[in-house]
Structure 1
Amino acid sequence: MNRDITKQDFGRFVTEHRRAAGFTQRQLAERLHVTESAVSKWERGLSYPDITLVQALATELGVSGQELISASEDHEGRADKRDARNYRGWRRAILWTTLLTWAGAILTCFIVNLSVQHTLSWFWIVLPAVGLAFSLTTLPLLPVPRPGWSALASATACLVVLLLVVWLQFAAGPWLVIAVSGVLFGLLLVFTPIWLTLLELPGGLGRHTTVLALVIDTAALVVFLLIVFVALGRLELWVWPVLPLVAIGAVPIWLVALTIRYLPLPALGVTAAVVLLFGICALVIGRLVNAVLGEREAGYVDLMTWGDATIEANIRLLIFCAACGAALVFGAAALVQSGARRRSGATVR
């Protein structure tokens, strides 16, 4: 028993809850298969019940085993159990309501489509659309393995089927390949980092999930754009200027991600490096894009003149200067913080 309570506290607790349950000492003793004298000794604070009787006694008194051992009401625990019961009831209500709603929508559309057009036409669009809504709202509530991933897979399949039905019935063309590949690319872009953390990667690859995610997402982007331009019959545009533009856009992302992941500096130092990279990119990316597109550099720097010929170059320069200033501030703060830590460590030693 808990040493924080006395036998008298325990006895009063048993007496109070026995009476609340409507039992006499004899009735409680009979239900526990002990003597009435044993129950009397518990309630008078002369002895504790055997440890093997604790759970049975708690059940008869309508309390938890922890409450009986501590001889006190666990209001918070009871509230948690009540909330859990309410949640389960709410969950069941939502589940059955949505199931009936989706079934009713499918049946209604089936009947209306047949009665009005005497054939099934737009019903085949409604069916995967309802399946998509079901996958996102109701499927996670069902007792399926890994409900989140199951919902994602089901929703993706329903979306692809929906696009296919629209393509077959209303608008044939290359857009279907582009749309499906776009959906798959989006899934890779969003979920690749999560998938990599869940996989047991061999060797030391587990420490380099950032690089792996960047490689996969960059390759997926290149393949997606290849599919788009092949579907449009303009493969030459993918070779130039699309690939160089992708490289220009991907390099800053790679630099920032690798800086955050691998630069051996404290957080403020890494922040300074990232801000400086942002300033450099703001200064040079526009020039690189213009060079790839074969366009002349628009405007020149003149902070005393803000017109069509100078505003773009002026803004780039100001962004670069602001980024350099912020990087200096963060770098100085990192040095001060590092010095303070060294002095604190020396003092402790």
Structure 2
Amino acid sequence: MALVLCFPQLKVGRETMIDNRTFGSFIREKRIEKGLRQRELADILYVSESAISKWETGKSYPDITMIPSICKALDVSEKELIEGANDTESRVMKKEARKYRIISDSWFWGLAIFYGIALLVCIICDLAINHRLSFSIIVFTSLLVAFSFAPTFTRFFENHKFAIFLGTTYLSLCLLFIVCCIMYRQSWCWVASFAVLLGYAVLFLPFLLKRYIPEEKKGFNVLLYFASLLVLLLLLLVVIRGYVQYPLVKAVLISLYCFIPFLFLSAIHLLKLPRLIKASLDVLVFGVVYYGIEAVIARIFGEGAAQYYTFDLTDWKYFANGNIMILYLIATISVAVVLASVYFLHWMEKEERL
């Protein structure tokens, strides 16, 4: 780009070099804006004062090797130097960027100082009252959790900010749970940590899969999502079993049964089927699976399920549960049939046109 300065009126792409006088006037204008005399600018650029004078009067151009130094001294871009005019749009963007950085810095350091003062006050009070660090340790981890959410640790990283935000907030919460359990001699921290991890997965795993799974494998995102949730749920059940006595195998069986429609939905979406057919199958499977959930639970626990399925649409006083269940099943099957019928009607019309 700087090469054109040696050749008046030389074209580079769509840009045309300005003439000597315009270039010289621009140099002079920017030198004055910076509050520099010709001698001072000459000293910065390690040239003679007469060379600066010749540039400004249009009698000569600077050597191309001096372009970066001139741009830095006059605080202009190479594009502005070539065109002999201010790049207003670029300068506005830079100004807005500087303003944003100032606001961001103020927000970050303001909150950091506030958290630091709060922690210092708590430590002083703790030492004055208990003569040792006790509740101030919990306060410290609590402030660490607050800091991880706002202003966050992502400021110290250039890439993967969302993943880092999730990781730092989750780890800070786990640290808080562990500190609380140690301080109060309890052991629920692992259950809380796995429960929060499951919650994070439910909310944020789709975004992480979309961001990090290669494009050619994105069709598996739904399956990976529900499979991951199932694994995390089963791990949570196992962890809870270490603290509370309950029938783990039965809980696992019920969880597996409840995930059948979600895993089926994931598998269906991997197949190249029409959307209406996929929707019809999804509705049908969801309807049938959740219609039978009471029977499955009763079977697992060795109880009867007749009271949930016996129906009489003329008697809602004694058969309300059964009536609701049968109407639910009829509604889901009807919706599935309608969706499939709409597809086949469209398909038949298309075949007739051909």
Q: Could you state the TM-score of these two structures normalised by the residue count of structure 2?
A: 0.72
Distance 1:86 1:332, change over 3 A: farther
Q: State the alpha-carbon separation in 2 of the partners of residues 8 and 205 from structure 1.
A: 53
Q: Does the alignment pair 1:114 with 2:127? A: yes
Q: Does the alignment pair 1:76 with 2:89? A: yes
Deviations 1:229-277 (A, max 9, x none): 232123xx1122x1221111111111111222x1113555544543444
Q: State the alpha-carbon separation in 2 of the partners of residues 68 and 332 from structure 1.
A: 67
Deviations 1:204-227 (A, max 9, x none): 999856555544442332232122
Equivalent residue number for residue 5 of structure 2: none
Q: Does the alignment pair 1:161 with 2:175? A: yes
Distance 1:3 1:64, change over 3 A: same
For 1:111-150, list aligned pairs within 5 A. Answer: 111-144=124-157, 148-150=162-164
Cα offset for 1:306? 5.7
In structure 2, what residue type is equivalent to 1:238?
L
In structure 2, what residue type is equivalent to 1:131?
L
- Given the alignment, which residue of 1, 10, 15 partners 2:25? 15
Q: State the alpha-carbon separation in 2 of the partners of residues 144 and 169 from structure 1.
A: 33
SS at 1:263's partner residue? Answer: coil
Equivalent residue number for residue 222 of structure 1: 234
Distance 1:233 1:72, change over 3 A: same
For 1:257-296, list aligned pairs within 5 A. Answer: 257-260=266-269, 262-265=270-273, 267=275, 269-293=277-301, 294=303, 295-296=305-306
Q: State the alpha-carbon separation in 2 of the partners of residues 196 and 121 from structure 1.
A: 43
Cα offset for 1:96? 1.3
- Given the alignment, which residue of 177, 188, 192 partners 1:175? 188
Identity %: 22
Q: Does the alignment pair 1:313 with 2:321? A: no
- Given the alignment, which residue of 44, 53, 57 partners 1:40? 57
Residue ranges of structure 2 left out of the alignment (5+ in a row):
1-10
CA contact (8 A) 2:17 2:82 kept: no
Q: State the alpha-carbon separation in 2 of the partners of residues 50 and 148 from structure 1.
A: 47
Q: State the alpha-carbon separation in 1 of the partners of residues 16 and 191 from structure 2.
A: 75
In structure 2, what residue type is equivalent to 1:40?
T
Q: State the alpha-carbon separation in 2 of the partners of residues 135 and 74 from structure 1.
A: 39
Equivalent residue number for residue 65 of structure 1: 78
Distance 1:49 1:287, change over 3 A: farther
Q: State the alpha-carbon separation in 2 of the partners of residues 7 and 184 from structure 1.
A: 61
SS at 2:258's partner residue? Answer: helix
Q: State the alpha-carbon separation in 1 of the partners of residues 126 and 169 from structure 2.
A: 24
Equivalent residue number for residue 346 of structure 1: none
Cα offset for 1:184? 4.2
Distance 1:337 1:86, change over 3 A: farther
Distance 1:153 1:102, change over 3 A: same
Q: State the alpha-carbon separation in 2 of the partners of residues 92 and 269 from structure 1.
A: 53
RMSD: 4.3
Which stretch has the larger CA shift, 243-252 or 29-38?
29-38
CA contact (8 A) 2:17 2:83 kept: no
Equivalent residue number for residue 347 of structure 1: none
Cα offset for 1:19? 2.7
CA contact (8 A) 2:177 2:189 kept: yes
Q: Could you state the TM-score of these two structures normalised by the residue count of structure 1?
A: 0.72
Cα offset for 1:57? 4.3
In structure 2, what residue type is equivalent to 1:315?
Y
Q: State the alpha-carbon separation in 2 of the partners of residues 180 and 35 from structure 1.
A: 68
Cα offset for 1:126? 1.2
